[in-house]
Every structure is written in C-alpha cells, then in structure tokens.
Structure 1
Amino acid sequence: MAPAPWDSVPPEDTLFALVTGANSGIGFAICQRLIDEYLVTRSLTSHLVVIPTTRSVKKSQETIDALRQHAREFATTSDILRSRAGPNYDPRSITKRIHILSVQLDLCNLADVHRAAEQLVNGTVSSPADANDVYFTSLTDVRIPRLDAVIFNAGMGGWTGLDWPKVFHNIFTKGLVQATTWPTFKAATAGHVVNPLPDAKDEKVPEMGQVFCANVFGHYLLAHKLVPLLSRSEFDSTIPPGRIIWESSIEPGWKNLSLSDFQAIKTNAAYESTKRLTDVLSLTATLPSARPFVDSYLQPATKSNAPATPPRIYLVHPGIVQTTLFPLNAFMFFWYRVVLYIARWLGSPWHPITGYNGAVAPVWLALQEQEALDAVDAEHVKWGSSTDFWGECRVLKTEVEGWGWDGTVGTRKELKNEKGERRIGRKIVGRKSGAVDLTEEKKVEFEMLGVECWKEMERLRGEWEARLGRVLERQ
C-alpha cells in the first residue's frame, strides 16, 4: 500500500467526498463546484479528495481527466487564489492538493454496490497521472481513511417524453413558472423492474422496482456499508461526523408515495415516488419514533465495541436544472432551455438551469461548518439550490408537504410578514400554487409515514443482505 499525499496533513485540513453518478450532469457539476469552493475557502495547505462514481472504468477515467482539466483551468485563472497566494503564485501548488479518484458503481446491482463499498472501506483506490503531468500527483493503491460527505445524486427518471396536451393545459391553467417548476406533463410508463442480483444463478430472486433500486435502495445499501468511513470514533473528536446527503427534487408531494406500491412499480410517476420517499426518510431520521430503525441502519456492518458517532443525514434538491435525464431531442432541448430562462426572469427562485448552479445546495452542505449547520437545524430542512433574476446562486429552505419548511407549524400571516434577503429570500416567494399550510395533524401524519418507511426499508435491507450474502458465499 502506497503512502498518500494527505497522510501527513492534519485531518481537519482534508476533506473526502464521494459523489454518485458523477460522469455527467449535476453529479459532474457537483464535483466541479466542490473543487472551486473548497479551494477558495480553505487554507492553502488543505487537501481535497473527490471520489466520483461511474458505471465503467472508461467513464471513470474520462471523468477524472475532465475534473483535472477543470481544476487546472480554475487554478490558472482564479484571481481569488492568486491574490491569496501572493506574487509567487504557482497554480501547481493548488492542483497538487486536489486528488480525483473514482470507483465503479451500478446501483441496480447489489453485489456491485457491496464490491464498491468493500473497495472503499477495506481496499485501495488508484488514480495514475501521466508521467509528464506536473499538475497532479499520481496515486496508486491508496487507502481512503474516512468519508466526510457522500452525495447521492445518481438515479434514473423512467420518463418516455412529453404529454403534449398536458403541456399546454399546465401552462394555460397554472402559468409558465408553476408549470415548469411542478410539471405534470412528463410521460412515463409503469412496470419497470430489475433483478438486483443478476449473479444469483442458483436462487430465485424476486424483481425490484428499477427506479426505486437506482434512486433509493442502491444508495441506501451503499450508505450502510460505508458507515465505518462515515462514523467518528472517540479518537476523531476534532472531525465532525460524516454527512449522508440525499438529493431529491422539488416536485414530490403527498400523492406521489403509496405504501402499497412502495417500490414504485405500479405508478406512472416512479421518479416522483422515489423522491418523495427520499424526503420522508431524510426528514424523519432524527425522530424518536424512527430511532430504532435509524440506529440499526447507521450501525457499522462490522460491529465494534468502541463507541462511535454516527453520520448525519441531510436533504437537498438542485432546483429545476436542464439535464439529459429527461429524454428530449436537440430541437426541444434548446427550446426547453429558453423556457426555463423565461421562468427565472418571471420571478421563479427555483430555476438554476445549469448543473453548476444546481450544485450550490449539495456543495454548501458538504463544506459548511458543523456548528453552522446545527445552528439552523439543517437536518430538518430540505435545502434547495436557488437563483435570482441574474443567476446569482443561494441556498433556500424548501416547503415539503406534511413538513413545511422545517417541521414547524406556522400561520399564513407569519409567512406574509416574513422578511427576507431581497424578494427571493422569503419563503412565500416561489411557493407552489395551492399549497396548504402545515397543521399539527398533517405533521403527525408525515411523522407516522416516516416511521413506516424506515421500518420497510430496514426490512428490505435485511432481506436483500441475506440474499446477497448467499450469492457472495458461492462466488
């Protein structure tokens, strides 16, 4: 095992972040923004280790190369870095502290999830650099000592295109801003399933909802297996616990999640169902009624007698971002982008549009000081990426049906009288049309739903880990 550049650096001057689905779209943009903001906010001796996951070795190498190119360009052109370092500034002193590693991960293959987690927890990772590359350090068989943040971005939509009658109906009845923020015109089909253990040749394996597996369960199992890297022992008291950052969307509400179709197989809105489940699980993770299930989930797979501080769970969404996740041809892709900009100019705070802008909330959660997050009770909020008319980025609280903005029951009068940073900083701005104020009854219903969801997820985890164990024994 080779020594790593960060081995001689104090733990508080390093950050280890894993981002799933990072070879393109929002995931790639999260990695870019993470590099940029880390470099301009941390000391000039700090090291950042970014671990993007992809589904193939080829994509991993392409992602590493692209992120290194981004880091090189940022270090070369950043006036902030140049002013901080002084007249003898050398961009290579910056890029040598940025380390891009990658692992392959197929979230719809639970054996692959296990393999990726095992590599990170007990194995080594490599990221060779070209012999003539003077900007980056070649890494061979290095260990990852911990993870400070895992950002669960990867997933699938399950959409097939646009329902054109609904497109026009949405726009003419709700207005452009509401229609493009909470659309109901995305066409999709039900019945998408997958075999999450394709290597189980000698055992009949039940199918699982494909979108559910990609968006929720694969990540859920991965996080559990990464708990040893995310937890902090009594010897790591200077380092905050790791952060599990779930990426949701702005859209889902009460109607999108049904306990009778927990894996979103029967619904035509599987994506929205899985994102509602993500909201419910994340926001109820600290409730006393859910603690028995959450404590079991955040217990390391290999139990130790040493006390450990478990990771924290946070929730974000990127706002409305144009990505290739939704299937559009080139012509429609262009005009969709134009429509999104018009929605922003009409006053929507939820249209970051670009992946880099949409990455502001997850990166903020990954880099923010723990004391600052605790001060705003960040675990009980769905944090959204937002922009103003000019595209200036910020992070805002997002209303969740049954939970409000932070689990607090308020009144309409309090919302109207709220003062915010300019117009965009007020909760009532950008609110969904017809939104109902949170009541104690609805909050209790949401909390009860959270307990049921945690219970079912833990049941599924136990069931599938048993199957996975049998498959691994036969290999």
Structure 2
Amino acid sequence: MGTKRVAVITGANGGLGYAIACRLLDSIPSSVPLTIVITARHLRKAVETISRLRAYAKGRDLLTFDYVLLDLTSVSSINEVSNQLLSRYTHIDYLFCNAGGGDFTGIDWPGAFVEILSGPLNALTHPHFKVERCGRISRDSLGWVFQMNVFANYFLMKQISTLLSGGGRVILISSIESRIAHEFNPEDIQLTHSDQPYVDSKKSLELLHTAIAKRWADELGVLIYITHPGICHTSIMAEYLNFLTTFGMLCLFYIARWIGSPWHVVSPYNGALAPVWAAVNAVPEADPVEGVTYASASDRLGRCYVKRTDDVTDEDRKNAAILLEELDKLVQDSLERVRLESS
C-alpha cells in the first residue's frame, strides 16, 4: 500500500475538471489510498460529481471524496475554502487550478465563416470569432475574468502554501489561445479594458507561472507546472451552440487533427492528459517547471501524448515581475477586506 495522496481539483463538476478527476483515478494505482477534493459553486453539483466519480471508480476501496464550495469571484469564499482545507488536511499532493471562465457574449458567425474559409487550421486553433464582454467588474471590485482565471488561483495557492510545501504540485491550466493574446499592458493588469479578457487572462496565468515557479520550487519545495489541454470539447461556449453547430464543430476538430494539427485532442479526457501527467509522472530533473508549457496533443489517429513548448522571453520575465508585484498587493488588500468583513 502506498502513501495516501490528496488531490484538490477546482471546477471538477464538468468538462475538463471532471476529466482530470477520471484520468487521475486511472493514473494512480488502486493500491494507493487517494482522497479527491472537488470544488463546485453549488452543493448539488458537488454531490452529483462525487456520485458520478464513485460510479467511475467502482470497486476502488482506498478512495475517499470530499468537497468544498468555492466561488472564484469572491475573495471571502476563497479565504473560507482555504481555511477549510487547512483545518482538514496536513498535506496536499496535487492542486489542479482548473476552474475559471470567460465573459463571452456570443459568436461572430460571419467572421467565423470567413476566418475558417481563409485559413481553416489557424481559425480552428487560434479563433478570433468568440465575442467577449469588456469591462466586467467583480463584487470585490476586480476585473471579473482576471479574478477568476488569475488572481483567484494565486490567492488560493498562497493561502494553502503550507499544505503544498515539501513536495506538493500545482497544475495551472492555460490555453493554446494565449498565443493570440494582446501584449501585456501594465496599465490594465486586471484586463478591464481588454476586448478579449479570457484570452489575455490565460497569457497572464502563464506570466504568473514564470514569476513564481522557480521561487516556489527553491523556497517551498512546491512544483508548479503550466499546462494546457489542447483543443477539446467543453461547455464554455455551449450556450451559443445548438446540436447542429456542436456536431459541425466536432467534425471540424477531427478534420483539423487529420490534416496535421497536434492540438485537436477533441475529448476532455484526452485534454486532461498533460495536467495529470504533470502531477503524477513529471520528473523534476527531466521535466523542469520553469520556462516550459506541457500540452495535451494528438497524432492523426487520436493517439495522445504530452507536447513540450519553450516560449518564455526576456520580455515575459519582465512583465511577470510586474504582474506578481500587483498580485501580492491584491492579496494583502483582499486579506484586509476579509478581516474587515469578519470584524
């Protein structure tokens, strides 16, 4: 019997998060005691997810589940979840920072049609036709998308760093769409003036990784990997698609894969390969945490593998330092906000 392991997966109630939980169950031997802590915004979703995972792992005796209710757009919620984890556990082996979202308002269908006809592979890999709302602010007076996708992850990591220290692994999940992000703007760190805050937030998440990966590894013994799931079918744009457009999208994904795209892994389970591999199988001596993104990829026949990309520049490192300074200030401001609310 192996040493008990504890994994926390944010946003595990569907899509990539649920697939990460399933792939984790398939990657860790059943002889190893394992606790999976899922986060969800609502109790019903948490209970349903645990029920589904129990059925998936039927017959696995050394498996337990736990949940916490987490709202990434509320610093009070993040702080409360941190306190719950600190009170329940002495160590966390894996933290998958999967939850997040975008403030999408629709799809520019004429633009999508033109873009796909002009360059189908590029359009299906780096689409510009998803329409995002600009300027949404959270209840904490932060950029809404920035808070969900960047700040909330850092705040949670900081709050439970003692549980991660000495061997814990944090898996940050970016997106291949970060390749079309705007240049980092120190005057708009919270992305409230960006017309594509979701895309830009994923680039900011990569900058955060650049800023802290080596420091946390050296000072805390925490390995932080940045990964992305390739391109797979999730529910992030589901409200703007119907049966026919969803079917058409999946057909285009398979076509893109067949004509040579390594990124169209199609299913969330395939997309979960790189995040789970980084948590369970990556070897620090051979798989460095700094300056590398590990992505889920696939060959033409759908055989998946982890693809490594090295694309951190000196400019990225400079911008990463600026971002980290702002994030540390926001952490202090948030802790003060929580203190005042509880007094």
TM class, shorter-chain normalised? over 0.9
Match of 1:252 among 178, 191, 195: 178
1:222 to 151, 156, 176: 156
Equivalent position amino acid for 1:50 in 2 = I
Q: 1:256 to 1:272 in 2, by over 3 A?
A: farther
**1:185 Cα offset (Å):** 1.0
Residue in structure 2 matched with residue 447 of structure 1 by the alignment: 317
Q: Which has the larger radius of gyration?
A: 1
> Which of these residues, 261, 267, 270, is aligned with residue 357 of structure 1?
270
**3-state SS, counterpart of residue 342 of structure 1:** helix
Give CA deviations for 1:11-55 in whole Å, capped at 9, x if unaligned.
Answer: x5222111101100000000001001113xxxx531111111111
Does the 8 Å CA contact 2:223/2:289 hold for their aligned counterparts?
Answer: no
Gaps of 5+ in 2: none
CA positional deviation for 1:380: 2.4
1:459 aligned onto 2:329: yes
Pick closer, same or farther for the CA change 1:105–1:286 going to 2, 3 Å. closer
Match of 1:88 in 2: none
Q: Give how far 1:256 is off.
A: 4.9
Identity %: 34
How far, CA to CA, are the matches of 1:284 and 1:362 in structure 2? 20
Question: Residues 257 and 274 of structure 1 are in contact (CA less than 8 Å); yes or no, is this contact kept in structure 2?
Answer: no
Relative to the length of structure 2, the TM-score reads: 0.94
Give, in whole Å, the separation in 2 of the partners of 1:210 and 1:255. Answer: 18
CA shift digits 1:153-204 (9 cap, x unpaired): 111121122112321332233x2211111111111221211113xxxxxxxx
Instruction: Mark the runs of 5 or more structure 1 residues left unpaired by the alignment.
Output: 1-8, 73-91, 123-142, 197-206, 233-240, 299-307, 404-442
Aligned to 2:139: 195
Richer in helix (by share): 2
The one-letter code of the counterpart of 2:45 is: K
Paired position in structure 2 for 1:367: 280
- SS for the counterpart of 2:77 is helix
Count how many residue pairs are aligned between Structure 1 and Structure 2: 340
1:399 is displaced (CA, Å) by 5.0
Hey, what does 2:192 align to over in structure 1? 265
Aligned AA (1:169): V
For the residues of structure 1 that align with 2:112 and 2:82, how far apart are their CA atoms?
Answer: 42
Aligned-pair CA distance for 1:391: 1.1
The runs of at least 4 consecutive aligned structure 1 residues that moved more than 3 Å come to: none
Distance in 2 of aligned mates of 1:256 and 1:329: 34
* Alignment CA distance shift 1:399-1:114 (3 Å): same
> Given residue 53 of structure 2, which amino acid in structure 1 is its aligned partner?
L
Which string of whole-angstrom CA distances, capped at 9 and with x for unpartnered residues, describes residues 95-143 of structure 1? 1112222111111111111111111101xxxxxxxxxxxxxxxxxxxx4
Deviations 1:253-278 (A, max 9, x none): 46253221111111120101110000
| Preserved contact between residue 227 and residue 310 of structure 1 (Cα < 8 Å) | no
Match for residue 97 of structure 2?
Answer: 152
Shift of residue 286 of structure 1? 4.5
1:71-470 equivalence runs, <5 A? 71-72=57-58, 92=59, 95-122=60-87, 143-173=88-118, 175-196=119-140, 207-232=141-166, 241-253=167-179, 255-286=182-213, 309-326=220-237, 327-368=240-281, 372-398=283-309, 400=311, 403=312, 443-470=313-340
RMSD: 1.9
Provide Cα deviations, 1:299-332, integer angstroms capped at 9, x if missing partner.
Answer: xxxxxxxxx7342221000011111111322321
Q: 1:62 aligns with which of 40, 48, 51?
A: 48
1:15 counterpart residue number: 5
Give the corresponding residue for 1:236. none
Normalization by structure 1: what TM-score?
0.68
**What secondary structure does 1:52 align onto?**
strand
CA distance in 2: counterparts of 1:345 and 1:176, whole angstroms: 13
Instruction: State the Cα distance separating 1:457 from its structure 2 match.
Output: 0.9
Residue 176 of structure 2: SS of its match in structure 1?
Answer: coil
